[in-house]
Each structure stands twice: as C-alpha cells, then as structure tokens.
Structure 1
Amino acid sequence: MALLSLITPDFGLFFWQTVIFLVTLYLLSKFAWGPIMSAMKEREDSITDALSAADKARADIEKLQATNEALLAEARIERDKILADAHKAATTMMEDAKVKASTEGNRLMEAARVSIQTEKNAALHEVKNYAATLAVEIAEKILRKELNNAEEQKKLVSEYIKEVNLN
C-alpha cells in the first residue's frame, strides 16, 4: 500500500500543493510575470524593429544599386559620347590637315610653275638676245666681206631705197 500511496495523493497533500501553486502563481504574477512579459515585449519590439530596419536597409541597398546602375549607364553613355566626339574631332583634324597639306602643295606647285615659267622666259630671252647678237655679228662679217668695194655699197643702198619706197 505504500506504493499505492505514492500514486494516489490524499486530500491534505493536494490542498497544500494547490495553495503553494496559487501562492507561487501570485508571486510570479506580481513580481516575475510583469518583468518577464515586459522583457518579452521589449524583445519582440526589438526583433520587429530589427526586421523593419533590415527591410529598410535592404530597400535602401536596392535603391542605391538601382541608382548606381543608372549612374553607370549614364557614365557609359557619357564615355561613348566623349569617345565619339574625340573620334569626330580627330577625323576633322585629319581632314583639315589633308586639306591644308593639299592647299599648301598646290600653292608650292603653282609657285614652282611660275618660277619655272619665269626662268624659261628669261632663258628664252637670253637665247634670243644671243641669237640676235650672233645674227648681227654674222651679218656684219658678211657685209664687210661683200661691201669691201664702193660699187657694191652703192648697189646695196639703192636696193634699200627701192624697198623703203615700196613699203
């Protein structure tokens, strides 16, 4: 029966256990339940705040990533524009240099042509003068030979007078 008394409690034991339970419950609710509940509430609030802060941080990060991507795209567009402008400027400079070189080459060619023509004319003039001098010298020598006597001189003068009268 002693074994059975452990399994079946008697009324006194049950009464005192109930009283101790109620006193413990009262003491816990008076002194421990409030702080435990406030600690639980604080913990819940801090977890909620941490979750909302994490969500806000995630949203901020996504917004920053979107902004960064937009800035990168804008920077790429600006880079492409700068490269295109630089290429265009280089092409323009090359074309201008070609035109300038062509113009300068044409100017030098024309100056060379003028110089050559001037030198050619001077050389022709010199050759003509030399030819005229030679012709005069040859004519003088021929006339000296032919006009050694007075009769031939008179004959030549009369021919010249006839030619002058005819013209």
Structure 2
Amino acid sequence: MLDYGAISLELGTMLTQLIVFIILLLAVRKFAMGPIMAVMEKRRQHIENEIATAERSRQEAEALLAEQRRVLDEARSESKAILDRAAKQASDEAARIIAEAQATAERLKADASADIAREVEKAKAELRDQMAGLSVLLASKIIEKELDEAAQKEAVDKFLAQVGERL
C-alpha cells in the first residue's frame, strides 16, 4: 500500500482493477467493437457504392446530354441544308419561269412582227393593184379626151390626190 496523505493506493486492488479493465477492454473489443466496426465498414462500402453509382449516373447523363446535343446539331444542319436546297430550287424554278416567259414574249413579238410585215406587204400589193387600176383608168381617160398640156397636168394632179387619199 502506498500512502500519499489523503489518498491511499493499494497495489493489489490496482492490479486487479487493471486486469479487469484490460479483460473488459478485450471483451468490448471482441464483442462490441467488432460488430460496430463491421457495421461501420458495411456503411462505408455502401456509401462508396452509392458515390460510385452516382458518378456513373452523372457520366451517363453527360454522355446522353452530349449525344442529344450532337443529334440536335445534326438536325439543325440537316434542316438548314433542306432550306438551302428548297431556296435554290425555288430560285432555279423562278429563273426557268422567267426564261420561259421571255422566250414566249420574244416568240409572240416575232410572230406579231411577221404578221405586221405580211399585212404591210398585203397593203402594198393592194396599193399596187389600185395604182395599176387607176393608171389604166387615167390612161383610158387621157386617150378618150385628147387633152392639152394644162388639162393633162390637172388630170395627173387629180390622180395623185386620189392616190394620196387612199394611202
């Protein structure tokens, strides 16, 4: 026994308490700490699995998002190409229609010019026929009337006036 004034320590009791404490510590370690540590280890593994699953899900979501963006970009570029083709086709069709209209207008103009030329030739032929008839008529009248020079000039002037009215 050790005596320190108000505190006295007995070596046997201390040794017994130390042995009981060590036995209790070993028992707690074996029976309580083992299962608690096993539960804690299971919980740690479960959390790690959840974190890994969440990370895989995040990566899959990012991959799906990237795929959706790629598909959306492809759809946009395809729709732009379709619109460009449609605009080009419309432009080509408009140019074709304009060219056809111009060709038709030129053809109609040429046909009208040809019709006018035919009508002019027809009018000239009719005029020649009338002139010939009038010339014959004038000649017959001149022959019938043996006119003097003044009367002949007057007849020619009258004839030219009649021809001028018909032109």
TM-score, reference length from structure 1: 0.68
The separation in 2 between residues aligned to 1:86 and 1:58, in whole angstroms, is 41
Shift of 1:9: 6.9
Aligned residues: 142
In structure 1, what is the equivalent of residue 159 of structure 2? none
CA RMSD, 1 decimal: 2.6
Letter in 2 for 1:84: D
Which residue is equivalent to 1:67? 67
Counterpart residue identity of residue 12, structure 1 = T
Separation in 1, partners of 2:132, 2:12 = 170
Query: Could you say which structure has the greater relative contact order, defined with CA pairs below 8 angstroms and 6 or more residues apart?
Result: 2
1:140 match: 140
SS where residue 145 of structure 2 aligns? helix
CA displacement at 1:34 relative to structure 2 = 4.7
CA displacement, residues 8-31 of structure 1 (integer Å, 9 cap, x when unaligned): 67542552364256346525643x
Displacement of 1:96: 0.7
What TM-score do you get using the length of structure 2 for normalisation? 0.68
Would you identify which runs of 4 or more consecutive aligned residues in structure 1 move more than 6 Å? none
Deviates more, 1:107-116 or 1:130-139: 130-139
Question: What is the match of residue 113 of structure 1?
Answer: 113
CA distance in 1, matches of 2:65, 2:10: 70
1:15 aligns with 2:30: no
- The aligned residue for residue 56 of structure 1 is 56
User: Aligned residue for 2:157?
Assistant: none
Equivalence map 1:24-43=2 (5 Å): 25-26=26-27, 29-30=30-31, 32-43=32-43
Flag the 1:101–1:21 CA change in 2: closer, same or farther, 3 A: same
> Which whole-Å CA distance do the structure 2 matches of 1:84 and 1:139 have between them?
81
Corresponding residue number in structure 2 for 1:89: 89
Tell me the distance in 2 between the aligned counterparts of 1:82 and 1:9. 101
Amino acid at match of 1:16: Q
Higher percent of residues as helix: 1
Offset, 1:37: 2.6
Compute the displacement of 1:53 (Å). Answer: 0.9
Q: 1:9 to 1:109 in 2, by over 3 A?
A: farther
For 1:126, give the aligned amino acid. Answer: E
Q: Which amino acid aligns with 1:124?
A: K
Query: Which 5+ residue runs of structure 2 have no aligned equivalent?
Result: 147-167
